[in-house]
Structure 1
Amino acid sequence: MNHEQLPAGVEFVTEADGIREYRLANRMKLLLVENRVAPVATLCVLYRVGSRNEAVGYTGATHLLEHMLFKGTPTFNNEKNTQIAATLQRVGANFNATTWYDRTNYYETVPSDKLELAIVLEADRMRNSFIADADRQSEMTVVRNELERGQNEPSMVLDEAVYATAFREHPYHHPTIGWRADVEHVPTARLKTFYDTFYQPDNATAILVGDFDRGQAVALIHQYFGAHPTATAPIPEVYTDEPAQQGERRLIVRRAGELALVQIAFHTPAVLGQLTVLSNEALAARALDPPVENDIFPLVVLSAALSNGITSRLYQALVERELAVEVHTNVDQFRDPGLFNIYATVTPGVEPREVEEVALIELQRVAHEGLTGADVDKAKRQIVAHVAYHRDGTANIAAQMSEAEAVADWRFFKDYAANIARVTPADVRRVARRYFTEDNRTVGHFIPKHADANENANGNPNINANGNGGLTK
């Protein structure tokens, strides 16, 4: 039973494994994790808005807004010499913000005696940020440069094309940074509407990790964040499901580059095992009582077994045989169903189709024969060690909790290692058979070309695709 004295308007919800959950009257969630290893604290404010909340015409809005929220408020601004970055730098803070498909987060690690400053600043920019046209224009240039750097990286170009082909209807179709035309032309008024819609206390979680006085921290967060009223309108939901793929989709990107690339993607479930988009209410209920069988964890183990280390299946089949110079895999752990990806950099002189065929043979071997118990145990140990390493320090803990909150809730973070440990060889074989099918597959090849032969009349890279729902040029 909880006996702490809380300010009126703050409710204690639950506690587990050192994580305490509270709810403010404006429905903002608060998570506290006390960690006194060093006299610092990390505050992370997570907003449940990412590129999944965008549509054509304002793709990239979430990322552009992230940049603009460093431009100031009536309290923190250039004229008063209290710019956000300069103010944080003066107290020795380590700070940043990031945007992804399912979320945006802002965080700073500060000396413990400067925690109030971090809380004041984040609460202020939640509702009082300048969304000015001059700032949009300057930050648009920054973001466009970032976009152009990505377009000079072949692996990013291919990945963008694969996602745009694999997802026909769901907003994972478009990249987090947005399409260039939208980044350049989105009206400032549209960004302001986006800000007012999603930057609300009932769409946010404040995560505080480190050395702090619990009572004082709760009081400060209530004082500053609790001053904001609940949003006047419901936070808009995403409800667009991606239909089941009904045939292999293939695409080729031809543009300047050094080495050919192969990417093979399969549709997979969301982090709580669901195969459809869930409302916020349904997601919260599922996170509170997650299903016993969740295919995401065997898929994570399978990914590690396929490409972690020189003895892994794909390394031996591709790199050891000099068909590829590098290979790795990844399974998305998103709020909505994502992809299991295989990425291979082709050895010069080798045909991409050969790399693709060898990789697919290895996947079919796993689907039909499974993995040995030793292989599964090794992969699980690697994952658990990786998890432990990335939970070292207040900033890492806050970041990982933020990711969990964005896609499920903090219990996904708390129970992750235990869920990995429960995976069996039978689980791995089952998910390989279920998801590694031809009809569920999207394949992309990046073919290097000289720049002058690579561009079409509009100066754009040639992208050819075909198959169910694909593009054709």
Structure 2
Amino acid sequence: MLLNILFLLTFEPINVTEETLKNGLKILIYEDHFAPVVSTQIHYRVGSYNEPSGLTGISHLLEHMAFKGTKRYGPKEYDRIIDEAGGEENAFTSTHQTVYWANLYKDRYELEIMLEADRMKNLLIAEKEFVPEKMVVMEERRLGENDPYGSLFETLDLVTYFYHPYRNPVIGFMTDLEKISRDDVYKWYKKYYNPANAIIVISGDVDKKEAIRLVARHFEKIKGKPLQEPEFTEPPQNGERRFTLYKEVNFPALVINFRTVKINHPDSYVLDVISKILSFGESSRFKRILIRQKSLAVDLDAYSSVSKYDGTFSIFGIPQSKVSIEKLEEEIYLEIERLKSGDITDKEIEKAKNQTLAQFVFRQDSPAGIGFTIGHWEILSGSWQNINLYPEKILDVKKEDIIRVSNQYFTEENRTVGYLMPRR
């Protein structure tokens, strides 16, 4: 309890300056003068969630093509410019966003602002670049299909969600990738890469007024078009779902999904604490009891994943060589039943809260880390300000919350179970 009080006394809420240009581009500035580094990121509100059947993987494919040249800069020029300026850069695509970022010395970050404005307006997506790059992405897809654990989790999403776009893998299905054309990608680019569908996050050793001025200089003449994102709802799961995959593996593996809640839901904070009680650290339930005391598993983890419209609580395990996968599954449920019955100590709960808060803080230990956090919460939860509510929500979690949430979501009719077995 003392550690919790000290955390609240020492925690400094994130202070972000907001500005929105007339074209709809939202600018979020976080000043931190600890080191002379600036992380500049542009977060587009588009990812696998937005992709209809037949176009899965197109957002990730566009991300690849975004490095293949604009009207002003040729292929690989973006990488060269950032590298010569002493910076680092990359990009990623996820369920709800596509993000481009660069970390540079504080007197050079305008370079990234300029390059992102050019990328937003002037991508070519030339056919001669598109064809070989699509082959690169398709090879990534093949490698994923050959990864037994990747296949396990992809199938888990497909069986957990029958209708919701959360069933779509970010990299897309091979049958869709084969058919996606250069024109498809260009239309996707013109629709989603516009100021009104983007957020630019600048964090680090900056002056907020200067940063806003620089963004306005490079972006304000680009026309914005607001987009309305449809909200899909997966019907409640009314019965256990099970599947078995056979792959070239030496040992079986188990994965369990429970449908839960979306980001910002009051129960999402409780689920974060439960995940730490079960599997974070050597004194957690799974590590201490099922791995060390009972020697049932070589690996066993639990984690809560909440997104914009829905969430899951997942458990992954690999049994010991002489332990059946059915036995491991049975023992996992026994540990969950202990939570449901209230067999939890105050010490466990306090430790789990401290671990959750420590992980929360460590994710923000650099300009890039805090920038990703700001963009993530802004897009998924509706406002970066929800970051500042997180610590207090975690500290408010009580034993009765853990009992209630465990009983509400960790039920047989609400779970999907997958086995990965050695090919016969």
Answer whether TM exceeds 0.5 for this pair.
yes
Counterpart of 1:122 in structure 2 is: 116
Work out the CA distance in 1 between the residues paired with 2:118 and 2:390: 33
Letter in 2 for 1:340: F
Counterpart of 2:224 in structure 1 is: 230
SS, match of residue 212 in structure 1? coil
Counterpart of 2:237 in structure 1 is: 245
- Once the 2 structures are TM-superposed, how far is the Cα of residue 236 of structure 1 from its aligned partner? 4.1
The structure 1 residue matched to 2:16, chosen from 13, 16, 19, is 19
Work out the CA distance in 2 between the residues paired with 1:357 and 1:133: 54
SS, match of residue 172 in structure 1? helix
Counterpart of 2:334 in structure 1 is: 361
Counterpart of 1:279 in structure 2 is: none
SS, match of residue 298 in structure 2? strand
Counterpart of 2:82 in structure 1 is: 88
Counterpart contact for 2:17–2:208, Cα < 8 Å: no
1:209 and 2:203 matched: yes
Structure 1 residue ranges (4+ consecutive) displaced by more than 4 angstroms after TM superposition:
none
1:329 and 2:308 matched: no
- Once the 2 structures are TM-superposed, how far is the Cα of residue 365 of structure 1 from its aligned partner? 1.6
Counterpart contact for 1:162–1:442, Cα < 8 Å: yes
Work out the CA distance in 1 between the residues paired with 2:250 and 2:379: 37
The structure 2 residue matched to 1:442, chosen from 416, 419, 423, is 416
- Once the 2 structures are TM-superposed, how far is the Cα of residue 370 of structure 1 from its aligned partner? 4.9
Letter in 1 for 2:304: V
Work out the CA distance in 2 between the residues paired with 1:135 and 1:317: 54
What pairs up with 1:448-463 in 2 under 5 angstroms? Answer: 448-449=422-423
Gap regions ≥5 residues in structure 2: 1-12
**CA displacement, residues 368-416 of structure 1 (integer Å, 9 cap, x when unaligned):** 2252221111011011111222211111111111221221121122322
Counterpart of 1:108 in structure 2 is: 102
Q: Which has the higher helix share?
A: 2
Counterpart of 1:461 in structure 2 is: none
SS, match of residue 44 in structure 1? strand
1:298 and 2:292 matched: no
Work out the CA distance in 1 between the residues paired with 2:333 and 2:319: 15
What pairs up with 1:10-409 in 2 under 5 angstroms? Answer: 17-78=14-75, 83-231=77-225, 234-273=226-265, 294-320=266-292, 321-408=294-381, 409=383
Work out the CA distance in 2 between the residues paired with 1:329 and 1:142: 33
Letter in 2 for 1:252: T
Counterpart contact for 2:38–2:203, Cα < 8 Å: yes
What pairs up with 1:414-429 in 2 under 5 angstroms? Answer: 414-429=388-403
Give the alignment's TM-score, normalised by structure 1.
0.84
- Once the 2 structures are TM-superposed, how far is the Cα of residue 258 of structure 1 from its aligned partner? 1.8
Change (3 A) 1:418 1:159: same
Work out the CA distance in 1 between the residues paired with 2:39 and 2:65: 22
- Once the 2 structures are TM-superposed, how far is the Cα of residue 41 of structure 1 from its aligned partner? 0.6
Work out the CA distance in 1 between the residues paired with 2:378 and 2:319: 37
Work out the CA distance in 2 between the residues paired with 1:160 and 1:109: 32
Change (3 A) 1:132 1:162: same
Counterpart contact for 2:66–2:119, Cα < 8 Å: yes
SS, match of residue 144 in structure 1? helix
Counterpart of 1:432 in structure 2 is: 406
Letter in 2 for 1:360: Y
**CA displacement, residues 32-71 of structure 1 (integer Å, 9 cap, x when unaligned):** 1111112111101111111011122110111111111111
**CA displacement, residues 325-346 of structure 1 (integer Å, 9 cap, x when unaligned):** 0011111121110210000012
CA RMSD of aligned residues (A): 1.4
- Once the 2 structures are TM-superposed, how far is the Cα of residue 318 of structure 1 from its aligned partner? 2.3
Change (3 A) 1:216 1:362: same
Change (3 A) 1:175 1:117: same
Give the alignment's TM-score, normalised by structure 2.
0.93
Gap regions ≥5 residues in structure 1: 1-15, 274-293, 454-473
Work out the CA distance in 1 between the residues paired with 2:123 and 2:228: 21
Work out the CA distance in 1 between the residues paired with 2:379 and 2:174: 26
**CA displacement, residues 239-272 of structure 1 (integer Å, 9 cap, x when unaligned):** 2210001100000001111211100100011102
SS, match of residue 378 in structure 1? helix
Letter in 2 for 1:60: G
Counterpart contact for 2:256–2:316, Cα < 8 Å: yes
Counterpart contact for 2:298–2:320, Cα < 8 Å: yes
Aligned length: 410
Letter in 2 for 1:391: Q
